C-alpha cells in the first residue's frame, strides 16, 4: 500500500510478482493481480497450488503479459 500511495496508483492497477504462497496471498488480499514464479522460495510446493492469476517459469516473459494489460488483452 505504501508504494501504491507513493506512486499514486490503486492496488487493483498493480501486479505482484512473487515466488511463494505468501506473495500470492498478499496480492489477493490487497486486490492486486498475482504472478507466481515456479522457482524460488515456496518450501518445495508448486506455486500453482497457491492459485495465482498467472504462473511463469521465466521472469523475462512477464513483460509480454504486463504490456497486454495496457491494451486490454488480459
DSSP 3-state assignment of 56? strand
Domain ranges of the chain: 2-58
Q: Which residues contact 22 (CB under 8 A, 6 or more apart)?
A: none
Q: Bigger pLDDT: 7 or 63?
A: 7
Whole-model pTM: value is 0.82
| CATH number at 2-58 | 3.40.50.1000
Nearest-CA neighbor of 53 among 9, 5, 3, 23?
23
| CA–CA dist 47, 25 (Å, integer) | 11
Ramachandran area for residue 24 (φ above 0: left; ψ -120 to 50: alpha; else beta): alpha
pLDDT tens-digit map of 45-63: 999 999 999 999 999 888 8
User: What's the pLDDT band for 1 if we cut at 50, 70, 90?
Assistant: confident
Amino acid at each position: 500500500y505504501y508504494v501504491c500511495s507513493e506512486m499514486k496508483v490503486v492496488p487493483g492497477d498493480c501486479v505482484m510478482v512473487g515466488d511463494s504462497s505468501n506473495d500470492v496471498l498478499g496480492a489477493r488480499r490487497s486486490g492486486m493481480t498475482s504472478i507466481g514464479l515456479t522457482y524460488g522460495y515456496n518450501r518445495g510446493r508448486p506455486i500453482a497450488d497457491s492459485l495465482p492469476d498467472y504462473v511463469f517459469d521465466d521472469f523475462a516473459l512477464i513483460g509480454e503479459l504486463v504490456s497486454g494489460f495496457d491494451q486490454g488483452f488480459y
